[in-house]
Amino acid sequence: MVRDKKVVDEVSGWLRIYDDGSVDRTWTGPPEVKFMAEPVTPHDKFIDGVATRDVVADPNAGLRVRIYLPEKTPDEENTKLPIILHFHGGGFCISEANWFMYYTVYTRLAREAPAIIVSVYLRRAPEHRIPAAADDGHSALLWLSSQAKSRSEPWLAGADFNRVFLIGDSSGANLVHEVAARAGKEDLSPLRLAGAIPVHPGFVRPERSQSELEQPESPFLTLEMVDKFLGFALPVGSTKEHPMTCPMGPAAPLLECLKLPPVLLCIAEKDLIRDTEMEYYEAMKKANKDIELHLSPGMGHSFYLNKIAVDMDPDTAAQTGGFISRVIEFIKTH
């Protein structure tokens, strides 16, 4: 007789953990939003000016990346394009590089920048706790460094390895800081890390901030998600003051001692965790780091990934356009 599995923990709509240790990430929330969490099949043909391809970067570790390649006009044939290395969000527990919500934003960024985007399929908690995702992000950067020498991946033939940027959404933005800090201790030449773009990073403290207590919850971030995802993702016995969730805290390396590239920190005014994101910004400035700030007024956490809001709400559409334009400006000037 087969025993029914029992749910021992869950995050509403997103994830269920069973008593046998298995994890189910099937979306069980409102069906009308399920399409945003559906995988997009890669396509070698250019669709709306962008082609996509999945590549195994490290067969031994099983590390995969998705490449977004923008179509060049005849005038651009000899132009080398910057590389944007992307780390997806999801509280270290959910999401995949091939989800539709990322596809819509990062095909647009690839096309409008223009740039080659390399998005990493990250290992997820609770099966793979921190620092697994950071190790994957770092390995992807090392793979790009090896590609700068070997030029063996044809889809990177037109890449400018002297202009490599990191970008990440939510928990992926935590990885941007961590991978940039690791890169500062290494010689990646001929690759040059030209900039880092953490977007709405999941930086927190053990105690609730004012914004966590006062700001409205959004579809992409609730207090339950903050607490439960980090509970599943942090090393057993760690608190939110772990260096990867609180890089400005007492457990983290001193920011003054880190060798970091220029940073563009993107924050949403109504983000639940805005206060701790701003604490990171102030700490980086105090440490004399090269950091710029882009604020999206009236917006919540990861608003630009909400395709329904971007299509239906003029304010969200305008702020998404402004955010993407600011990222492109940062890339063009670094």
Tens-of-pLDDT digits for all 334 residues of the chain?
556 889 999 998 999 999 999 999 999 989 999 999 999 999 999 999 999 999 999 999 999 999 999 998 877 778 999 999 999 999 999 999 999 999 999 999 999 999 999 999 999 999 999 999 999 999 999 999 999 999 999 999 999 999 999 999 999 999 999 999 999 999 999 999 999 999 999 999 999 999 999 999 988 899 999 999 999 999 999 999 999 999 999 999 999 999 999 999 999 999 999 999 999 999 999 999 999 999 999 999 999 999 999 999 999 999 999 999 999 999 999 9
pLDDT at residue 2, as a whole number: 56
| CA 46/CA 139 separation, integer angstroms | 28
CA 163 from centre of chain: 18
- Is 271 noted as a catalytic residue in this protein? yes
Catalytic residue among 271, 275, 296, 302: 271
The full 3-state SS of the chain, as one line of letters, equals CCCCCCEEEEECCCEEEECCCCEECCCCCCHHHHHHHCECCCCCCCECCEEEEEEEEECCCCEEEEEEEECCCHHHCCCCEEEEEEECCCCCCCCCCCEHHHHHHHHHHHHHCCCEEEEECCCCCCCCCCCHHHHHHHHHHHHHHHHHHHCCCHHHCCEEEEEEEEEEECHHHHHHHHHHHHHCCCCCCCCCEEEEEEECCCCCCCCCCHHHHHCCCECCECHHHHHHHHHHHCCCCCCCCCCCCCCCCCCCCCHHHCCCCCEEEEEECCCCCHHHHHHHHHHHHHCCCCEEEEEECCCCCCHHHCHHHHHHCHHHHHHHHHHHHHHHHHHHCC
| CA 264/CA 332 separation, integer angstroms | 13
164: which strand partners? 83, 193
| CA 320/CA 311 separation, integer angstroms | 10
How many residues would you count in the chain?
Answer: 334
- Is 301 noted as a catalytic residue in this protein? yes
Catalytic residue among 177, 242, 294, 301: 301
> Which pTM value belongs to this model?
0.97
| CA 322/CA 302 separation, integer angstroms | 14
**Could you tell me the two tokens for 281?**
């910004």
Angstrom distances, CA of residue 91 to CA of 223, 230, 268: 12, 7, 17
Residue 72: Cβ within 10 Å count:
15
Position of tokens 């201790």? 185
Nearest to 137 by CA among 242, 190, 195, 64: 64
CATH superfamily of the 39-333 domain = Alpha/Beta hydrolase fold, catalytic domain (3.40.50.1820)
Residues 136 and 178 sit within 8 Å (Cβ to Cβ):
no
- Is 9 noted as a catalytic residue in this protein? no
What are the residue boundaries of the structural domains of the chain, listed by start?
Answer: 39-333
Catalytic residue among 170, 218, 296, 302: 170
| CA 334/CA 328 separation, integer angstroms | 10
